[in-house]
Amino acid sequence: MRIRAMGVVLAGVTLATLATPSHAAALPAPNIEAVRAVQRQAMAQGAPGALTLIDDQATYYGVAGGKANTATGARMDTGRRFRIGSVTKTFSTVVLMQLVSEGLVNLDAPANTYLPTPLPSASITVRHLLSHRSGLYDYTNDMFYYTVPGFEAVRNKTFSFQELINKSTAHPLTMTPGSGYSYSNTNFVVIGQIIEHLTGKPVAEQYRQRIFEPLKLTNTSYVHPLTDIAGSASRGYLRPDDTTLPLVDSTEQTVSWAQSAGAIISSAEDLNTFFGALLSGALLPQSALRQMTTMVPVNADGSQSYGLGLRARKLSCGVTVYGHTGTVQGYYTWAFGSADGSRTMTSMANTSNNGTVNTTLGGTLEATFCGTAPTAASLRTASAANGGFREDIAPDVVRGRG
């Protein structure tokens, strides 16, 4: 695991420099001015605020702008806690892969082997779940077809894993298991149920014992079904489908609709620590890490791919970075690292249901790992040809970008 220098992060200031391994020298220096430009653009497009924190071998670069709280006018800063949405999927995968390494799970065994209630197809393997190739329908397509009403309907509800799975299995499979890639939150709800069924402990305890405490992630928590974000947090703002209406403060919620697919709370520093530890091999044996980072392209030009609970992006400079995106009501997150974990970056904008902001925020990858300002060509997404946008929530519902 990397040695971390301690201190307060100020915008655009390098706080500490340690000896950098030679393998990190191939990466260009981060372009902090380009990060600032990306954030300004995201805020112009509707995000109240944004933050980016880069950890380059314990040299820190922090940039933040806009507001963390529109009611009080509190300024955004890089130390804020926030809901990380689908970045949770990588944490869930690490726990599951540790169970694989302990001999308790076979990735290619039927998932039903490890479940209290079987899925409708015995052909679905654990690997299919982790790689979004199960064919299980994403129940959030129904739950959030209408963004704000859907959110308000579940904001304070508590679901069991099985209740969410049942919402999915009320629909037929979307494809033959293993035949293709189709992003579905249901997959990682099933992963959470497997973890709890095998260990006899809540996923919250597994996250804490296996990841949060060993890495000293003091700003990371899984508080389901509590609704508050403790400490210095950024509030989150959900854009209605009718964009003439004001943003909705969506900070407090159980996130019970997502749980092991999207309910972790963290900070930029903690996410950088997590991905640095994961990619450098501190959390898993090399054989398990290789499984996670074995990628299959999910778009036509191969610039985007998915492994096991992990995304990869091939950037314009030829560098491939690994991590995950996260969408939860009121927050967009991009958390990625270089292949060896020597440089990590987390960016957050405190809005959602605004695909233009999410796409723009992804430009911090180019600025961080290529040292260049992102171009229109480098901001490719999985958007529909008609200009629509799909998110990690309700991924089959196409929404407007503007």
pLDDT digits (tens, 9 = 90+) for 279-306: 999 999 999 999 999 999 999 999 999 9
- Counting as low any pLDDT under 70, the low residues of the chain are 1-25, 376-388, 401-402
Number of Cβ within 10 Å of residue 270's Cβ equals 24
The predicted pLDDT at position 58 comes to 87
Contacts 24+ apart (CB under 8 A), 310-314: 310/90, 310/93, 311/336, 313/362, 313/365
What residues act catalytically? 86
**C-alpha 242 chain-centroid distance:** 26
Residues 6+ apart with CB under 8 A from 303: 313, 314, 380
The predicted pLDDT at position 10 comes to 33
CA distance 85 to 54: 20
The predicted pLDDT at position 377 comes to 61
The candidate with the shortest Cα–Cα distance to 88, out of 189, 194, 4, is: 189
- Residues 352/328, Cβ–Cβ less than 8 Å: yes
Stated pTM of the model: 0.93
